[in-house]
Amino acid sequence: MNVRKQLPGICFVPGLFSSTEVFAHHVMNGEIPTTFLQGLLSGLAHPVIGLDHLTFLLMAGVLARSLEFPMRFTVPLLFVVSALFGTSLQLSGVTLQSTEVLIALSVIAAGGLVIWQHRIRAIPLSVLLLFAGLFHGYAYAEAIVGSETAPLAAYLIGLAMIHYAVIVATMITVEKIFNPRVLPYVGSTALLVGVFYLSV
């Protein structure tokens, strides 16, 4: 498979840098969701329209492909659970420091592991997903703080669904379509995304 044929898929990430900060953190035009549907849509969209969050999910999918069945499908659930826990921490009034910095570092770490291309084992990947999920989830709560119970529950459902769906879909896509020789370019792009967010 020719690397050049893969480049359009690799280059889509830098184009997302044009996303505004408002859309990266609030899908409801800066307003908190007030209905179940709004909460669900916000939960589904938040990790996708935030470039740093999306990049980490994509890299998690790439890394999960190295695991054997059924671990490749169960280990990503750790990120889902950890992110929900991180969201609940902020909603409970707990303060975590340097969240955005740690999120950027998680993206850099994931990109670096993809560049390395070593078959990562379940335990190290689990640690990365648990650590990253906590801070990604904490940041997600900014879009839902102050919301009522129904949209809040829907938001959390949406988050859980989209996290797992993106990771697994990426894993399957990479397994079936991508040439392994392209992955260092993918990891390098993720690394640049992480460095960008670390510097802003």
pLDDT in tens, 159-189: 999 999 999 999 999 988 878 788 899 999 9
Q: What is the pLDDT of residues 139-163, one digit of tens each?
A: 998 878 777 889 999 999 999 999 9
Q: What confidence category does residue 27 fall into, taking pLDDT thresholds of 50, 70 and 90?
A: low
Which pLDDT does position 200 carry in this prediction?
Answer: 86
- Whole-prediction pTM: 0.84
If you average pLDDT over residues 109-128, what whole number do you get? 91
**Has residue 10 got a pLDDT over 70?**
no
For the four alpha carbons of 33, 85, 118 and 188, in that order, the dihedral sign comes to positive
If you average pLDDT over residues 84-104, what whole number do you get? 94
Buried b (16+ CB within 10 A) or exposed e, 144-170: beebeebbbebbbbbbbebbbebbbeb
